[in-house]
Amino acid sequence: MSATEANIPLGEAAWELPSRGKVGMGSLIVAESAIFTIFVVAYIFYIGKSLSGPTPREVLRVPIVGTICLLSSSFTMHWAIAALRKGRSGAFRAFWFLTFLLGAIFIGGTAIEWHHLIYQENFTIQTNLFGTTYYSLVGLHASHVIVGLIGLAVIMILAVLGKIRPEHTERCEVFSLYWHFVDAVWVVVFTTVYIVGR
Amino acid sequence: MAASTDSLPRFAARKNALAVIYEWLGTADHKKIGLMYIVYALVFLVVMGVEAVLMRIQLAHANSSFLSPEVFNRLFTLHGTTGVFFVGMPILFGFGNYLVPLMIGARDMAYPRLNAFSFWMTAFGGLLLYASFFAGNSVAQAGIAPDVGWFAYAPLTATAFSPGHSTDYWNLALLVAGVGSISGGVNFIATILGLRCPGMTLSRMPLLVWMNLVMGGLVLVTISPLTAAQLMLLADRYLGAHFFDPQAGGSVVMWMHFFWIFGHPEVYVLIIPCFAFISEIVPVFSRKAIFGYPAMVAATTSIGFVSLGVWAHHLFTIGMPSYGNAFFVLTTMVVAVPTGIKIFNWLATMWGGRIRFATPMLFAVGFLFQFLIGGLTGIMLATAPFDWQLANSYFVVAHFHYVIVGGILFSIFAAFYYWFPKMTGRLLNETLGKWNFWILLVGFHLTFDTMYVPGLLGMPRRIYTYEAGRGWESWNLITSIGVIFQGVAVLIFVYNMVWSYLRGPLAGNDPWDAWTLEWATTSPPPEYNFAQTPAVRSRRPLWDIKHPEDPDSKYE
Amino acid sequence: MTAPEQKQHVSLPKPTLWPIALALGATLIAVGLVTNAKVSWAGLILALAGSVGWFFQVLPHENHEEVPVVPTPVPIATTRRSVERIAAAQVPHRARLPLEIYPISAGIKGGLAGGAAMAVLAMLYGVLSQRSIWYPINLLGAVVYEHVQVSSAQMKAFHIELLLVATALHLTTSILVGLLYGALLPMLPRRPILLGGILAPLVWTGLLYNVLDIIDPILNQRIQWGWFLASQVGFGVVAGIVVLRQVRIPTWQYPLAARAGVEAPGMMDEEEKQ
């Protein structure tokens, strides 16, 4: 060959790229949103199409306490991350625990609501179309909250063991994106089930 | 692993069999995972091919009794499901996995372990689907393998009409594989956005990488609705829910919408990576830079977006308001615009070039013509009144096989002949490659050109036999004869792969005199791809090095 | 990230069986649904083990293995040293193809001229075979009718509405085909008159031969294909010649920003600007 034989040039200037953690979580959130969209569409399409009772107005009680808890947990999560970034690990742990607690109250509220519906009202997923869509949509969201609570608990254990330091802020932040997403979905689910559908 | 007296680059000492198995089962290396995807898909390609052969034997003559109607139903269900989920997606994910990190100068995918997880989910999903053959019968008397068609319209899938577990196998297999596909899509996006080597801005990424990025995005928003719909079906079948149960007021049309919200963008998930292969191969064998790079990127992304709004053209015959019909006719036809831009750009790339008709280029040119015709018949079917006449006929079957076999399969062959040297270090045999191409071309046209006609004459799809005297016999016979040619071509290909892997001439690092980064490392590449991270200054980094007096970087 | 010397080792993720364990566990949960609940429980345990194992692969630190770098020089070179250039004046170092095209007016002129030639031939056919200059015009205008029986006398008479329809149709089609010729002819490699004047009319006639009964059944009943082909070829040859005689205009060789005078590095060949 000739004198132009050369090797590939090597990496040179500083090079900023989007964080793969945030991009990955963002992509996952897009996919999850698509799943929720389908369930919400099914819910809205079947509003008022049940052939037999009970209707939402007869059995549903609006979970105000749970909703307030879940939505405020987004704020505590935000403050926890801010505290971690500044290196205030005590505040981080406190806010993180508070987030977990608020999420747990929400899921407890859902459990009580379901227990009431199933055992007092005899209303299950098989009862009618309302039951089918209600339990599947709220259940899908609740399963996401449970996954989030498991993640919260794991990080909390690590925090108690002193394993979470300011350099882990980004990983915690990526996780917090998921939690904020779960909260935002609840706004949609709440609107669909308890406002539009009732 | 097996090799004789060769001088392929070696990066590791020989290991015993157990270590090799552990290395492959536990690997997080994108190249090994890519190869596993490809080999897995090739096995299922043969399986679905055998299913197609059986169906064509049955249909070659009128009043044939080679297969029972029950078996025929199972065969077309599995043929379709396998083709989309366990051949098309894995093989394209495999090539993407192998090539994307190399082309962006990265060491691996963004999430190497998640990558392995994605592959294994896909693999186990396929095995679960075929396990129905062995297990389905022992649990319930009714049904062995799934027989509800690849789009499994409700209420056929309800427990009343589909007792036993055969439909559950289909449902669960796609759920499992769907999780794998979604995590694969996440991985592609994170890799492409987050791991590019210095200098590789979005506007300098090779088109293959761009198109895989779009494919990853489409996977997120198409496989997810399928997963959601499968969860609903699962709830219907196991928990007694009523999503698709007309007895309780449920709507079967909703399943159709949900399925095709997945189903139509899915064909773009399959075809966009094929556009990617063609966009890399055509310039290299025309010795010209791709024509209209920004237009290609724009066309790809707009295909991605428009494809999300076309699904209900599968439902013209179900009945929609006229505004609905008009909307979906228009959106479907709009897809032809960016697709046309692409075809013209490929032609313009070839125009005035010094074209070398090596085997990859032959397949690429075959792709261009056949994909064009497949696309044009698609536009015919997009016209609602035409579709009212021909929906669910063999015309539709011919149309989508024209795209899938004439387009996707041909471009996959092109990709094999082009990148096999990079993956194995050895060139595929050119003579056998040309035989492979021409015989496949003849077989393809015998089978699928003639398949349009019985469709126009009113032959519905999915019938297991037909009466004589309707003018369908000779067309069906020719269609079946074409399958023989296609089978021979695939056998030549398999022989060529095995022979070339063992005895083929050494390829060297850059056998095609190409311009993208994967040719700037050894063939096969070492585990770490590049000993040091490369840097790029243009869309064709290797051109810049080969022609230092006239680099691309001055012009972009 | 940049080490000038060749590194001895590269860290890569270590092979691990936990992802496959999680995948198998998840699949077994599904398998249990179609076989036996015990399988699901086993799958759940395997999936949990896989998740935990995977967790410790990634946290607190990613599990790496150091792969030794095998120094393999990868020279990059081409045997195709010479690069073909477009040899023409007034063309930058890297030309954008095509260098010249016909203006849109060329296509319109060609279409009109071709249309005129075709009309003359068609009239000639009318006069020679039917002794009526209106006959071919009526045939073309009859595209608006569905299957109706029309007498020969009627076809030879003058009908204003058919004249209008036929003229509009003829003009539109002629201009459209002329535009197509104007765009295509500079792209066709050799013998533009053969391709545009003979082959294209042949193909077009072949297409019409098959579908004319649907489009214009009256024309199809009375058509004489020899004359039809002759008038098509007349159009093609005349339109082709007229288009080819027009003056070509050069295409834009620089991107819009450069033509607008924006100064930016890398926009065009720097050597040339000096």
**For residues B292-298, average pLDDT:** 93
- pLDDT for res B13: 60
**For residues C148-166, average pLDDT:** 83
- Check if B357 contacts C (Cβ < 8 Å): no
Give chains near B: 3+ CB pairs under 8 A. Answer: A, C
- pLDDT for res C1: 37
CA distance B285 to B364: 10
CA distance B528 to A126: 55
- Between B6 and B254, name the one with better pLDDT: B254
Q: Does position B107 have pLDDT exceeding 70, yes or no?
A: yes
Interface touch C26/B27, C-beta < 8 Å? no
**Lowest mean pLDDT segment, chosen from A174-183, C5-14, C21-30:** C5-14
CA distance C197 to C244: 12
CA distance A109 to A101: 12
SS3 label, residue B7 = coil
Phi, psi of B400 (to 5 degrees): -80, -25
CA distance B82 to B170: 10
**CATH node for B27-554:** 1.20.210.10
In chain C, residues 175-214 whose CB comes closer than 8 Å to chain B: 187
- Check if B536 contacts C (Cβ < 8 Å): no
SS3 label, residue A10 = strand
In chain C, residues 6-65 whose CB comes closer than 8 Å to chain B: 6-7, 10, 12-20, 22-24, 26-27, 30-31, 33-35, 54, 57-58
Q: Does position B278 have pLDDT exceeding 90, yes or no?
A: yes
- Over the stretch B177-226, which tens digit does the pLDDT of each residue have? 999 999 999 999 999 999 999 889 999 999 999 999 999 999 999 999 99
For residue B406 the two structure tokens come to 């004439």
- Over the stretch A34-60, which tens digit does the pLDDT of each residue have? 999 999 999 999 999 999 889 999 999
Which residue do the tokens 């005349």 mark? C238
For the ranges A142-146, B147-151, B196-200, the one whose mean pLDDT is highest: A142-146
| Band of residue B304 on the pLDDT scale cut at 50, 70, 90 | very high
Nearest Cα residue to C1 out of A12, A9, B107: A12
> Residue B232: which H helix or E strand, with range?
helix B207-234
Nearest Cα residue to B442 out of B386, B502, B400, B484: B484
Residue B532: HSE in the Cβ half-sphere, 13 Å Cα cutoff: 20
CA distance B297 to B349: 15
Tally C-beta pairs within 8 A across A and B.
147
Which residue do the tokens 């693999």 mark? B123
| Band of residue B2 on the pLDDT scale cut at 50, 70, 90 | very low
CA distance B358 to B71: 42
How near does any CA of chain C get to the CA of A163, in Å?
Answer: 8
Distance of CA A153 to the CA centre of its chain: 14
Nearest Cα residue to B111 out of B101, B122, B125: B101
| Band of residue C274 on the pLDDT scale cut at 50, 70, 90 | very low
In chain C, residues 47-86 whose CB comes closer than 8 Å to chain A: 55, 59-60, 73-79, 81
Q: Can you give chain C as a three-state secondary structure string?
A: CCCCCCCCEEEEECCCCHHHHHHHHHHHHHHHHHCCHHHHHHHHHHHHHHHHHHHHHHCCCCCEEEEECCCCCCCECCCCCCCCCCCCCCCCCCCCCCCEECCHHHHHHHHHHHHHHHHHHHHHHHHHHHCCCCHHHHHHHHHHCCCCCCCHHHHHCCCHHHHHHHHHHHHHHHHHHHHHHHHHCCCCCCCHHHHHHHHHHHHHHHHHHHHHHHHCHHHHHHCCHHHHHHHHHHHHHHHHHHHHHCCCEECCCCCHHHHCCCCCCCCCCHHHHC
Interface touch A7/C2, C-beta < 8 Å? no
- Over the stretch B408-463, which tens digit does the pLDDT of each residue have? 999 999 999 999 999 999 999 999 999 999 999 999 999 999 999 999 999 999 99
Looking at beta carbons, which residues of chain C come within 8 Å of B237?
Answer: none
- Over the stretch B459-503, which tens digit does the pLDDT of each residue have? 999 999 999 999 999 999 999 999 999 999 999 999 999 999 999
**Lowest mean pLDDT segment, chosen from A78-82, B249-253, C3-7, C120-124:** C3-7
Q: Does position C7 have pLDDT exceeding 70, yes or no?
A: no
- C63 touches C13 (CB < 8 A): yes
Q: Does position A1 have pLDDT exceeding 90, yes or no?
A: no
Find the CB nearest C1 among A4, A6, A11.
A11
Contacts of B73 (CB under 8 A, 6+ apart): B147, B149, B462, B464
Find the CB nearest C76 among A6, A154, A163.
A6
CA distance B147 to B76: 8
- Over the stretch B534-554, which tens digit does the pLDDT of each residue have? 889 899 999 988 888 888 887
**For residues B121-136, average pLDDT:** 88
SS3 label, residue B233 = helix
Q: Does position A4 have pLDDT exceeding 50, yes or no?
A: no
For residue B494 the two structure tokens come to 């398999």
Q: Does position B89 have pLDDT exceeding 70, yes or no?
A: yes
**For residues C198-208, average pLDDT:** 89
**For residues A126-136, average pLDDT:** 94
DSSP string of A11-78, one letter each residue: P-S------HHHHHHHHHHHHHHHHHHHHHHHHHHTTT--SSS--HHHH----HHHHHHHHHHHHHHH
CA distance B281 to A97: 56
In chain B, residues 486-525 whose CB comes closer than 8 Å to chain A: 517, 520
CA distance B285 to B411: 14
DSSP category for residue A164: -
CATH of the domain spanning C10-68, picked from 3.40.1760, 1.10.287, 3.30.70, 1.20.120 = 1.10.287
**For residues B498-517, average pLDDT:** 92
Q: What is the largest CA-CA distance in chain C?
A: 98
Q: Does position A5 have pLDDT exceeding 60, yes or no?
A: no
- Amino acid (1-letter code) at residue C1: M
- pLDDT for res C139: 86
- pLDDT for res C263: 62
Ramachandran bin of B355, using left for φ above 0, alpha for ψ from -120 to 50, beta for the remaining angles: beta
Interface touch C55/A10, C-beta < 8 Å? no
- Percentage with pLDDT > 90 across chain B: 82
- A141 touches A186 (CB < 8 A): yes
Using alpha carbons only, give the angle B347, B350, B355 rounded to the nearest 5 degrees.
145
Residue ranges and CATH numbers for the domains of chain A are 20-47+75-196 (1.20.120.80)
- Percentage with pLDDT > 70 across chain C: 86
CA distance B208 to B277: 6
CA distance A94 to A92: 5
> Residue B136: which H helix or E strand, with range?
helix B112-139
- pLDDT for res A3: 38
CA distance B284 to B153: 45
Average pLDDT, chain B: 92
- Over the stretch B344-400, which tens digit does the pLDDT of each residue have? 999 999 988 889 999 999 999 999 999 999 999 999 999 999 999 999 999 999 999
Chain A: residue whose CA lies nearest to C60: A163
CA distance C61 to C14: 12
Which residue do the tokens 């299957």 mark? C147
- pLDDT for res A168: 86
- pLDDT for res C87: 67
Nearest Cα residue to C168 out of C115, C117, C114, C233: C115
**For residues C219-223, average pLDDT:** 82
**For residues B235-260, average pLDDT:** 94
Nearest Cα residue to B274 out of B354, B367, B182, B357: B367
How near does any CA of chain A get to the CA of B225, in Å?
Answer: 5
- Between B165 and A105, name the one with better pLDDT: A105
**Lowest mean pLDDT segment, chosen from B95-109, B390-404, B482-496, C58-72:** C58-72
C76 DSSP β-pair partners: A6
- Check if A150 contacts C (Cβ < 8 Å): no
Q: Domain residue spans in chain B?
A: 27-554
- B403 touches B481 (CB < 8 A): no
Q: What is the CA radius of gyration of chain B?
A: 23
- Over the stretch B7-23, which tens digit does the pLDDT of each residue have? 666 665 666 788 888 88
Chain A: residue whose CA lies nearest to B114: A24
SS3 label, residue B426 = strand
- Percentage with pLDDT > 90 across chain A: 77
Q: Does position C229 have pLDDT exceeding 70, yes or no?
A: yes
Find the CB nearest C34 among B23, B139, B351.
B139
| Band of residue C211 on the pLDDT scale cut at 50, 70, 90 | confident
CA distance A105 to B155: 40
Q: What is the CA radius of gyration of chain A?
A: 22
- pLDDT for res B9: 63
**For residues B514-534, average pLDDT:** 91
> Residue B335: which H helix or E strand, with range?
none
- pLDDT for res C266: 52
For residue C251 the two structure tokens come to 């295409």
C9 DSSP β-pair partners: C68
- A32 touches B224 (CB < 8 A): yes
The residue among B23, B117, B543 with the most chain C CBs within 10 A of its CB, best to mutate, is B117
Chain C: residue whose CA lies nearest to B9: C72
Q: Domain residue spans in chain C?
A: 10-68, 100-250
For the ranges B253-262, C4-13, C194-203, the one whose mean pLDDT is highest: B253-262
**For residues C173-199, average pLDDT:** 84
Chain C: residue whose CA lies nearest to B125: C27
- pLDDT for res A2: 39
For residue B482 the two structure tokens come to 């074409």
Residue C192, Cβ neighbours under 10 Å: how many? Answer: 18
Chain C: residue whose CA lies nearest to A1: C79
**For residues A189-196, average pLDDT:** 94
CA distance B194 to A161: 31
Using alpha carbons only, give the angle B345, B348, B353 rounded to the nearest 5 degrees.
135
